[in-house]
Amino acid sequence: MKTLKDVGEHNAIAALTANLKTVGDDCAVLPLDTHYDLVLTTDPLISGIHFAPDTPPEQIGWKAAARVLSDFAAMGADPQYLLINLVAPPEQEFQTLEKIYDGVSRLRKLFGVDLVGGDLSQGPVLELHVFGVGRVPKGKALLRSGARPGDIIYVTGLLGGSFANGKHLTFMPRVKEGKWLRQSGFVTAMMDISDGLATDLRHILKASKVGAALDSTAIPKNGTLEQALFDGEDFELLFTVRPEDADAFDFQCLEDLEQSFPRIGTVTDQPELLTLDGTVLKRKAFEHFKGES
Amino acid sequence: MKTLKDVGEHNAIAALTANLKTVGDDCAVLPLDTHYDLVLTTDPLISGIHFAPDTPPEQIGWKAAARVLSDFAAMGADPQYLLINLVAPPEQEFQTLEKIYDGVSRLRKLFGVDLVGGDLSQGPVLELHVFGVGRVPKGKALLRSGARPGDIIYVTGLLGGSFANGKHLTFMPRVKEGKWLRQSGFVTAMMDISDGLATDLRHILKASKVGAALDSTAIPKNGTLEQALFDGEDFELLFTVRPEDADAFDFQCLEDLEQSFPRIGTVTDQPELLTLDGTVLKRKAFEHFKGES
């Protein structure tokens, strides 16, 4: 009998959700009314997997909520509500849980998001399951499937070393940038980087049926190139812009955001082929259940 | 330092969510548009807590989704979308997970609910966290806070023995009944029975600032009176009807649903006082973390 470890996380999700058409982007986008689409997402945060048991509790709460807000950022959507299922052992100190909620509250207040429900249950280790509800103007959500050959590939910030330097616990989700990028009208595809640039870019390539050529010198690195490509948990936005719009886009970024985003590569017409400096890039991704780290 | 076990589940939820006004009913109800309110809920299902490790996987999936649909039933709301966070150990057989999803699908197809997202993560035991999204006509959700002195207390079905006889794994959530009860216009307060009649009725009493007098002979029992009062996981609906409407309500039930619901007691004007056959009923509730079962 095959176990989850044999199958791997991404394959397992793909197999279990094969007949559901809305799964695949960072959030599900569903019709709401004449003006808006409903945007839904959920992320787990599990002790020993997503954070070390000795992590300060405020940071646990912050990360749990920030991961979900980053999913909204990835679609250019507005997060509105959160619900949290908390799991904890009976011997868990109650004060720790209060501090976890403080971490959630600190972040959700920054973005005007309400915590409206959830549950608390006994279990072997500390876990948070955060469910997010929001909206986006009808038909305007940025998907992974919109990249076209020739598009320029951008990223919003430094990649790599997030686990080592603690950024994965304190990062600011790119909600404002995501919304601006959507409103700019220049972006053709977008997602957030949770599993590492090399792995997540492949999701865009698959969904858009295109390839990509990356330029190693252009990738903004926090550490080595290897780390920038494979570490994961950066929670920066990865997006593509039509080549004829790229200069206007760069200008508009400086004008509105007072910053520019690096161009790290180009979309090609070779489906799912990812190259780095002209050489095919091998897969090496963190994936749950397969024991790599 | 106080632990979760010291504090208890309900007290912990109350403390952690003290400043959130929408927590307290079975679902959160939020403004959506001019016609509808948005209805959100979430329930965990954890191996060793909510189901035995040897439970058939289809029943695990069924129960996980049915608990969430029961929350919608409790408000008279329409469930529309589900998202599922699945947690499993790496050595979990993949086929078991497929069967869990089959159980979810069998139920959600019965009620026309779409599974639109979720996540899969490694963890020490098998868990499902199901998030539900739905809607209800604006201002029409049935809350726990609407009961008034004199109202008649009803329940939709047999209470007690649900763990022993397996009903907790195979029950049909009362979505259709809940919607009919809301549309009837006769119901003043409603919730579903998950922690046992005696415990859950107290939630209505607290929210409505009233008391209740139960008639032991009128309670529909699956087993002993003790079981009917305290077992929990019945997932029947508990609701109240204005006394002047009760006869018309009973007639309408027979007419539309071809069944009648038993009258099990009366709402009184003594806040939070619960009596059974004229005697004050002591608390004895299953509560996570406190080690009672």
- CA nearest to B88 within chain A: A4
| The one-letter amino acid at B266 | T
Residue A289 confidence class, pLDDT cut points 50, 70, 90:
low
Instruction: For residues B18 and A241, give the distance between their C-alpha atoms in angstroms, rounded to a whole number.
Output: 45
CA atoms within 13 A on the CB side of A114: 13
The CATH H-level (homologous superfamily) assignment of domain B144-280 is PurM-like C-terminal domain (3.90.650.10)
Q: What is the largest CA-CA distance in chain A?
A: 60
CB within 8 Å of chain B, chain A residues 78-117: 81, 83-95, 97-98, 101, 114-117
B87·A127 Cβ contact <8 A: yes
CB within 8 Å of chain B, chain A residues 130-159: 131, 133
Each of the 293 residues of chain B gets a pLDDT tens digit; together they read 788 888 877 777 777 766 554 556 789 999 888 899 999 999 999 999 999 999 999 999 999 999 999 999 999 999 999 999 999 999 999 999 999 999 999 999 999 999 999 899 999 999 999 999 999 999 999 999 999 999 999 999 999 999 889 999 999 999 999 999 999 999 999 999 999 999 999 999 999 999 999 999 999 999 999 999 999 999 999 999 999 999 999 999 999 999 999 999 999 999 999 999 999 998 764 455 544 33
CB contacts, 8 Å: B194 with chain A: none
B1·A117 Cβ contact <8 A: no
The answer to whether residues A188 and A140 touch, using CB atoms and an 8 Å cutoff, is no
Is the CATH code 3.30.460.10 the one for domain B4-137?
A: no
Q: Please, what's the b/e burial string for A145-182 (b: 16 or more CB within 10 A of its CB; e: otherwise)? A: bbbeeebbbbbbbbbbbbbeeebbbebbbbbebbbbbb
CB contacts, 8 Å: A84 with chain B: 42
Q: Name the phi and psi angles at A5, rounded to 5.
A: -60, -40
Q: Name the phi and psi angles at A222, rounded to 5.
A: -110, 80
Q: Is the pLDDT of residue A288 over 70?
A: no
Option in B15, B49, B115 nearest A122 (CB): B49
Q: Is the pLDDT of residue A135 over 90?
A: yes
Tell me whether residue A53 is exposed, middle or buried, using C-beta atoms within 10 angstroms of its C-beta: 0 to 12, 13 to 18, 19 or more.
Answer: exposed
Give the residue extent of every domain in chain A. 4-137, 144-280
Is residue B118 within 8 angstroms of chain A, CB to CB? yes
Kindly state the average pLDDT of the residues A22-27: 70
The answer to whether residues A32 and B113 touch, using CB atoms and an 8 Å cutoff, is no
A83·B131 Cβ contact <8 A: yes
| Closest-CA residue to A6 (of B129, B95, B87) | B95
According to DSSP, residue B171 is labeled P
- B290 Cβ contact list (under 8 Å, min separation 6): B5, B8, B9
* CA-CA-CA-CA dihedral for A30, A31, A32, A33, to nearest 10: 160
Query: What angle, rounded to 10 degrees, do the helices at B175-184 and B246-257 form?
Result: 130
Report CA B34 to chain centroid distance, whole Å: 28
- B243 Cβ contact list (under 8 Å, min separation 6): B150, B151, B152, B266
- CA nearest to B34 within chain A: A33
Q: Which two tokens stand for residue B206?
A: 């607290």
A1·B93 Cβ contact <8 A: yes
B98·A15 Cβ contact <8 A: yes
Is residue A18 within 8 angstroms of chain B, CB to CB? no
Instruction: For residues B34 and A215, give the distance between their C-alpha atoms in angstroms, rounded to a whole number.
Output: 50
The answer to whether residues B41 and B26 touch, using CB atoms and an 8 Å cutoff, is yes
Instruction: For residues A153 and B24, give the distance between their C-alpha atoms in angstroms, rounded to a whole number.
Output: 46
3-class SS of residue B188: strand
